[in-house]
Amino acid sequence: MEIKQLYTGCLSEAAYFIASEGEAAIIDPLRDVDTYIKMAEEKGVKIKYIFETHFHADFVSGHIDLSHKTGAPIVYGPGTEAGFKVTVAKDGEEFSIGKIKIKVLHTPGHTLESSCFLLSDEAGEPNCIFTGDTLFVGDVGRPDLFSGNLDKEDLAAMMYHSLRDKIMPLSDNIIVYPAHGPGSSCGKNLGPETFSTIGVQKATNYALQEMNEAEFIKKVTTGLNTPPAYFPINAKLNSRGVESIDDVYEKGLVALSVAEFKQKIKEGLTILDTRPSTVFTTGFIPESISIGLDGRFAEFAGIIIPFSDSLIIVAENGKEKETITRLARVGLDNIHGYLNGGYEAWVEAGEQIDLIIDIEPDELAMDIPFDDMLEIIDVRKPGEFETAHIKGAINIPVDTLTDPLNVAMLDDNANLYVHCAGGYRSVIACSLLKRQGMHNLRNVLGGFGKIKNEKGITVVQAEKASA
């Protein structure tokens, strides 16, 4: 028996490869499925099943492509209604892979069809459970995502019983393999590890402590941030089906000359520049959106870029396919080529460029007392801002800067000093502000992580709650 967790950090997503006696199963595959096919070929096993724990909201699954390429059926839990052929398993139904078995446990709460998969080894002993978004390390799946007419309290009540009836009775030594790790927006505050055990979770996970249903509902539904805007789109795509990623590559991996790229711009296509944020500020094609591959690229692309936009790409040489793959993982498929030779080709052709001025926190400290037109824009999340921020700063989270009303509140004549936590989001923000006509910009390098230690800058800390 072999179990391999395939973790993708920029999406905080875990897929799983399971093999026994020449047969394999994949759980919650990403859209770029060749990884799983190659792994099966290298190990000399045949992919027999594709298991989906639920209709994912934070990424587009590869279940359809993988099924078409391998012939393996797609298995969902009870109550699933899909726009493509699936096997809808019964609660308690078992599936054999070689000498091991996977048992379906229907665990509604995160979504109605959410199910966990309990794996028993060759001796028939329960070994591990793949919990999807039902149970995370230190957290549980949020109950406010797209399940018909049910509200979050209804789903939280279902989650309460799913956890207590199906998960908590399991032996303490059973390994917990969730679908997500730290940083995921599918829960409130996932722990730092990507796997655990039932025993550890019963001892440490707030949602598994002794409480009644009403207390559980209150705990699970309190403190939920607004889910990323692309979540309902991805959930719908996963339930209805998407085009093959091979078709996305065929359309997107087209090398455009500078002249062809300029024509695409005239036609209204959106320029996405995926070079590192530290490189982007030193020079870029005007009107470009910066979302660097060096950060949580796919997540921010899904949040920032309208799904109706047609895209053309500026990438580091050799990173074009990676860019398209990672965009496709969140359903951004409308890609119509990339600039052949990258940004350097644009410069060599003598075309117009733009840039963003980078400054260190000490320069901000020197400017604050003397610049009457200075405004500090903090683009972190509201919770980060409330914990600590520069005195007088304006909080406009980066994901809200596509709304012209939020930009309209800024003074066109002000000198805008933009920062986030570490420097990645602030460059995205500056590129969005540039596109909306704001040009008196300074990007503060190192973000609040460096700013908070700079002498001459007053930081406002949140008041600690009294005991």
Q: Where are the beta strands (DSSP E) in 126-167?
A: 126-132, 135-136, 139-140
Instruction: Give the span between the Cα atoms of 317 and 275, in whole angstroms.
Output: 9
Domain boundaries, the chain: 2-231, 243-348, 357-461
Q: Where are the alpha helices (DSSP H) in 319-455?
A: 320-328, 342-348, 361-367, 382-387, 404-408, 424-435, 447-451
Domains 2-231 and 357-461 share a fold: no
* Residue range 2-231, CATH number: 3.60.15.10
- pLDDT band, very low/low/confident/very high, at 403 (cuts 50, 70, 90): confident
Amino acid at 259: A
Flag whether pLDDT at 1 surpasses 60: yes
Residue range 357-461 in CATH 3.40.250.10: yes
Instruction: Give the span between the Cα atoms of 188 and 201, in whole angstroms.
Output: 16
User: Model confidence over 421-447: pLDDT tens digits?
Assistant: 999 999 999 999 999 999 899 999 999
* Residue range 243-348, CATH number: 3.40.250.10
Instruction: Give the span between the Cα atoms of 54 and 76, in whole angstroms.
Output: 7
Mean pLDDT of 71-84: 96
Question: How close are the terminal C-alpha atoms of the chain, in Å?
Answer: 51
- DSSP state at residue 58: S
Instruction: Give the span between the Cα atoms of 328 and 322, in whole angstroms.
Output: 10
Where do we find the tokens 């910066």?
290
Flag whether pLDDT at 206 surpasses 50: yes
User: Model confidence over 269-296: pLDDT tens digits?
Assistant: 999 999 999 999 999 999 999 999 998 9
Flag whether pLDDT at 466 surpasses 50: no
Distances (CA, A) of 255 to 310, 345, 447: 16, 12, 35
Instruction: Give the span between the Cα atoms of 349 and 341, in whole angstroms.
Output: 11
Say if pTM beats, i.e. exceeds, 0.85. yes
User: Model confidence over 247-274: pLDDT tens digits?
Assistant: 999 999 999 999 999 999 999 999 999 9
